[in-house]
Amino acid sequence: MKPTLAAFFLLIHLSLCAQTQEEEIKNTLVDMWDAIEKNDLESYAQFIHPDFTQFGETDPVLQTGKAAEIEGIKNWLKNSSDIHTEMIDPKVTVKGDVAWITYYWSDKGLTSGQVFTSKGKSTRIFVKENNKWLCIHGHYTLLPN
Q: What is the mean pLDDT of residues 125-142?
A: 97
Query: What is the DSSP pairing of strand 80-95 with strand 63-64?
Result: unpaired
Tally the domains of the chain. 1
- pTM (2 decimals)? 0.86
Range of the domain at 133: 3-143
Q: State the Cα–Cα distance between residues 145 and 79, nearest whole angstrom.
A: 22
pLDDT tens, residue by residue, 2-12: 556 555 554 45
Closest of 50, 140, 62 to residue 103, by C-alpha: 140
Q: Which CATH number fits the domain that encloses residue 35?
A: 3.10.450.50
- Cα dist. 36→19, 30, 45, 91, 132 in Å? 26, 10, 10, 22, 19
Encode pLDDT of 58-84 as tens digits.
Answer: 888 999 999 999 999 999 999 999 999
pLDDT at 81: 95
Q: Show the DSSP H helices in the chain as ranges.
A: 3-37, 41-45, 66-78
Output the pLDDT for position 59.
Answer: 85
Of residues 18 and 21, more confidently modeled: 21
